[in-house]
């Protein structure tokens, strides 16, 4: 994961707020996933696995409507299967970023879901591959 220092600092502050707020458990994962897929890093095994894990978490919760509290089990399953994913070229731009989330902190639950949806939608060219990964992870 690569990020500009200022962006990483904002994420750190947001994450601290989310971790200290018991009501945030229902949407913290979407913030983690959105930030991770918007900062994919360089093509290496760790970055590939991280992006795969967070895209699969977004797919599971947003598309398949899996309860958000089950998303960590998806990530855990992905990270236990090394070498099964490939580098996906990241989207060139994003319609919503952490700056938008922080600006709308008074309605964080709603904004977090919107950020997650925007992050997922930005990866649209790879949705079929993520769906295949999900099938391989849970069906086979």
pLDDT in tens, 19-77: 888 888 888 999 999 999 999 999 999 999 999 999 999 999 999 999 999 999 999 99
Round to whole Å and give the CA distance between 94 and 140.
33
pLDDT at 7 (0 to 100): 78
pLDDT at 127 (0 to 100): 98
Round to whole Å and give the CA distance between 118 and 34.
8
pLDDT at 91 (0 to 100): 96
Round to whole Å and give the CA distance between 3 and 131.
27
> What pTM value is reported for the model?
0.93
pLDDT at 44 (0 to 100): 94
CA separation (Å) from 136 to 56, 60, 129, 131, 132?
Answer: 11, 13, 11, 9, 6
Statement: residue 140 has pLDDT above 60: no
């Amino acid at each position: 994961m690569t990020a500009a220092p200022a962006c990483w600092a904002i994420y750190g502050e947001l994450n601290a707020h989310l971790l200290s707020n018991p009501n945030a458990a229902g949407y913290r994962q979407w913030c983690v996933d959105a930030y991770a897929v918007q900062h994919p890093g360089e093509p290496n095994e760790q970055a590939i696995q991280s992006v795969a894990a967070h895209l699969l978490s977004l797919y599971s919760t947003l598309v398949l409507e899996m309860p958000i509290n089950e998303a960590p089990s998806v990530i855990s399953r992905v990270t236990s299967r090394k070498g099964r994913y490939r580098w996906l070229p990241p989207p060139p731009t994003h319609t919503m970023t952490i700056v938008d989330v922080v600006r709308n902190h008074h309605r964080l639950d709603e904004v977090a879901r919107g950020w997650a949806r925007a992050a997922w939608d930005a990866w649209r060219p790879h949705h079929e591959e993520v769906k295949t990964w999900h099938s391989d992870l849970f069906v086979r």
